[in-house]
Amino acid sequence: MSGTRPNTLGALRDSGWSGGSVRDEVRRNLIARIRANEPIFRGVVGYDETVVPQIVHALLARQTFILLGLRGQAKSRLVRQLVDLLDPEIPIVAGSEVNDDPLRPISRYARALLEECGDSTPIAWIPRAARFVEKLATPDVTIADILGDVDPIKAARGGHVLSDEMTIHFGLLPRANRGIFAVNELPDLSGKVQVGLFNVLQEGDVQIKGYPVRLPLDVLAVFTANPEDYTARGKIITPLKDRIGAEIRTHYPESVDEGARITRQEAWLERDGATVDVPSFVAGVVERIAFLAREDKRVDQRSGVSQRLPIATLDNAAAAAERRALLTGEAPAVRISDIYSALPAIEGKLELEYEGEMQGAERIARELVARAAAETVEDLADPAIEEDLAEIVDHFDRGGVLQVGDAAAAGAALEGLLAVPGLESALGRLGVAADAPAGTKVAACELVLEALAAERRISRSLTGSFRRRRAPKRRPPPSAGGPTLEA
C-alpha cells in the first residue's frame, strides 16, 4: 500500500483523490457502517436505544455535539471511538503543522511551499489516530494552549517579524485541522478561552498576541461536560453554547443486569491464565451497591456514583478470592465476604453529603453491601424460602454462633455453614444446583446470612461472625424526684 500512495502533489492529482470536509468523511463512513449493520461503538452497553441514536443523528446532520453526563458514563469512550469513523489515512502537505490539504492549503507555510514546488510539492500521509486531538479542560488552560502563540525563536531563525504567520507555534485546535477536536469538561475553560474557541469554530478568525490570522479550520468539535456545570449560569458563554448542534445526555445503567454486563466486561477476571469465578448472584450484589448508592440521600447525587465503583469493587473482591486460592490451592471463586475486603474501593468512589460525612464512609459502605445482599435474595429466592430463613434465625436465637474465616478453603467453609439448620435447603430456593461447586455454595450461604443480618434478624460482627440479634439497649428510667444538683 505504501508503495502505491502518491508522494507528490502532481501524483496525487493524477490519482483522482479529491478529499472533502471531515464532517462529510465521518458521515460517509458512518453511513457505510449502518448499511453493513456493523456496531457504531464497541464495548458500550445500554446506549443502543438512547445515546447512540442521538449521536448518529448529530453526525449525519454534520453537527458538533456535547455529551452531558455524570462521571463514569462512558462519555470519553464514546468520543474516542469517533476516530474509527475517519478514513484510515489522508494526504497532507509534508511538514505542515496544521495538516494542510494539498489541494486546499490554509497555512502560510503550505501555500509558500506549493508556490515554490508546484506539482513536485512533497506529500505525507497521516493515520486516523493522528487526527484526533483531546484536551481535558482546566481553569488554567490558556489561549496559547488551544490556539497558539508567537514563537520568538522561529522569528529569529527565519528572519520574520513577530506579526508574520510563520512565527506562530500553533495550539491544539489548529493542529486538529481535518480531524476531530475533543474537549472534556468544557465548562472548566475560562470565558476568554471559550470566546477564542467560539471565534475559531464559527468565524475561522484567530488572534495571536493581537495579530489577526485567518484560518478556516475543518474540524469536527465534540465536547463533554457535567450537566450541572454546563447549565449553571456563568459556566459557559451563551454564544458558544448556542453554536453546539446537539446536547446529548448520557445515563447510568437502567437495570442491574445491564450494569452487571458492563462490570463483567471491564473487570479484570482473567488472571495469569485462570478465570476468577464470580457467581451471578455475587455480581448482582456488587452491582446493587452502586444502584443503592445512587438513591442514598447521604451520597452526593450531583457528583454521581460512577460505574467505576462496581468495577473496582469486583476487581478487589476477585483479588481477595485470588489470595485465598493461592493459600489453599483451590480455583479462585468470589464470595460475599470478599466484597467486604473491597470496602476501600467502595469508600473511595463515594462523595458524601454532610450527613454521610458524619456517619463515615465505611459505615455507609457496609450498609450498602448488606442492603444489596437482602435485595438480591428477595429478587432471586422462592417465596417458600421464608420457612428456611425462620429455621436459620431460630438456630442463632438458641445461641448458635458461626465464624467462617475469609481464608478458609471452600470445603471446610461449606462444612461449617451447612451445620446451620435450614441453610442447605435455602440454597435450593435460591436456584443453586445441588452439584454446584463448593465455592458457589459458600457464596450462596453467605448471601443468605448477609440478607438476614441486613434485616436485623441476626447480627453480624465486623469480623464476619454471625450470632443472635442483639436486643436494643434500654435507657434507664428517670429518677422519681427528677434530676438533682449536687452542691
DSSP secondary structure of 41-76: SSS--S-TTTHHHHHHHHHHTT--EEEE--TTSSHH
pLDDT single digits (tens) 63-107:
999 999 999 999 999 999 999 999 999 999 999 999 999 999 988
| Residues recorded for the chain | 487
- Cα separation of 377 and 184, whole Å? 40
> What type of residue sits at position 190?
S
Cα end-to-end span (Å), the chain: 101
pLDDT at 469: 86
DSSP assignments along 209-273, one per residue? TTEEEE----EEEEEEE-HHHHHSTTSS-HHHHHH--EEEE----SSHHHHHHHHHHHS--EETT
Q: Cα 307 to the chain's mean position, in Å? A: 6
Cβ 334 vs Cβ 282: under 8 Å? yes
The count of C-alpha atoms lying within 13 angstroms of the C-alpha of 43, restricted to the half-sphere facing its C-beta, is 14
According to CATH, the topology of domain 9-249 is Rossmann fold (3.40.50)
Identify the burial level of 449 via C-beta atoms within 10 angstroms of its C-beta, where 0-12 means exposed, 13-18 middle and 19 or more buried.
Answer: buried
- Cα separation of 307 and 300, whole Å? 15
Cβ 248 vs Cβ 47: under 8 Å? no
The three cell numbers of residue 454 are: 441486613
pLDDT at 104: 92
Each domain of the chain, given as residue ranges in start order, spans: 9-249, 271-468
pLDDT at 3: 53
- Cα separation of 458 and 179, whole Å? 61
> What type of residue sits at position 123?
I
pLDDT at 484: 45
- Cα separation of 289 and 162, whole Å? 59
Cβ 376 vs Cβ 291: under 8 Å? no
Q: What residues contact 424, with CB distance under 8 A and at least 6 apart? A: 418
> What type of residue sits at position 348?
G
pLDDT at 472: 58
Question: pLDDT 10s digit of each residue in the chain, 487 long?
Answer: 445 789 999 999 998 888 889 999 999 999 999 999 999 999 999 999 999 999 999 999 999 999 999 999 999 999 999 999 999 999 999 999 999 999 999 888 899 999 999 999 999 999 999 999 999 998 889 888 888 877 666 665 666 655 666 677 788 998 999 999 999 999 998 888 888 888 777 776 666 666 677 778 899 999 999 887 776 655 888 888 888 899 999 999 999 999 999 999 999 999 888 899 999 999 999 999 999 999 999 999 988 899 999 999 999 999 999 999 999 999 999 999 999 999 999 999 999 999 999 999 999 999 999 999 999 999 998 888 999 999 999 999 999 999 888 889 999 999 999 999 999 999 999 999 989 999 999 999 999 999 999 999 999 998 889 999 876 555 566 554 444 444 3
